[in-house]
Amino acid sequence: AEASSPPRWEIGLYAAGALALLGIAAINLWKLWRSGSYPAPSPFPNYDYRYLEQKYGAACPDVRSKRGLAPGSQRAPGRSSSSRKSSLRAEDTLESIQELGSLELMGRDLGLAHYGPLRKSISADSLNSISSIGNNFGQDFTVGQVEVSMEYDARAAALHVTLLQGKDLLEKEDARFESCFMRISLLPAEQIVGISRIQRSAYSVAFDERFSVPLDPAALEENSLRFSVFGIDEDERSVSTGTAELKLSDLDLATRPFNAWLYLQDTSKAVDTVGEILLSLSYLPTAERLTVVVVKAKNLVWSNGKVTADPFVKVYLLQDGRKISKKKTAVKRGDTNPVFNEAMIFSVPAIVLQ
The pLDDT of 321-342, averaged and rounded, is 87
User: Can you tell me the distance from the alpha carbon of 284 to that of 102, in angstroms, rounded to the nearest whole number?
Assistant: 17
User: Can you tell me the distance from the alpha carbon of 196 to that of 194, in angstroms, rounded to the nearest whole number?
Assistant: 7
User: Can you tell me the distance from the alpha carbon of 122 to that of 342, in angstroms, rounded to the nearest whole number?
Assistant: 9
Query: What confidence category does residue 173 fall into, taking pLDDT thresholds of 50, 70 and 90?
Result: low
Return the pLDDT at 98.
45
Q: Which residue has the higher pLDDT, 35 or 278?
A: 278
Q: pLDDT tens digits for 256-298?
A: 889 988 888 876 665 567 888 988 888 888 888 888 999 999 8
Q: Name which CATH class applies to 276-352.
A: mainly beta
Quote the percentage of the chain above a pLDDT of 90: 19
User: Can you tell me the distance from the alpha carbon of 268 to that of 171, in angstroms, rounded to the nearest whole number?
Assistant: 11
CA of residue 39 relative to chain centroid, distance: 21
Q: Which residue has the higher pLDDT, 125 or 230?
A: 230
In our burial notation (b when 16+ CB lie closer than 10 A, e otherwise), range 316-341 reads bbeeebbbbbbbbbeebeebeebbbb
Return the pLDDT at 239.
84
Q: Which residue has the higher pLDDT, 305 or 289?
A: 289
Domain 130-266, what fold?
Immunoglobulin-like (2.60.40)
- Give yes or no for residue 159 having a pLDDT over 90: yes
Q: pLDDT tens digits for 37-63?
A: 554 445 544 566 777 777 666 655 444
Q: Which of 2-16, 92-106, 226-240, 307-321 has the lowest mean pLDDT?
A: 92-106
Going from N- to C-terminal start, the domains of the chain cover 130-266, 276-352
- Give yes or no for residue 198 having a pLDDT over 80: yes
Stated as kind and residue range, the H or E segment containing 305 is none
Structural Rg of the chain based on CA atoms: 26
Q: What global pTM score does this model have?
A: 0.49
Return the pLDDT at 208.
92
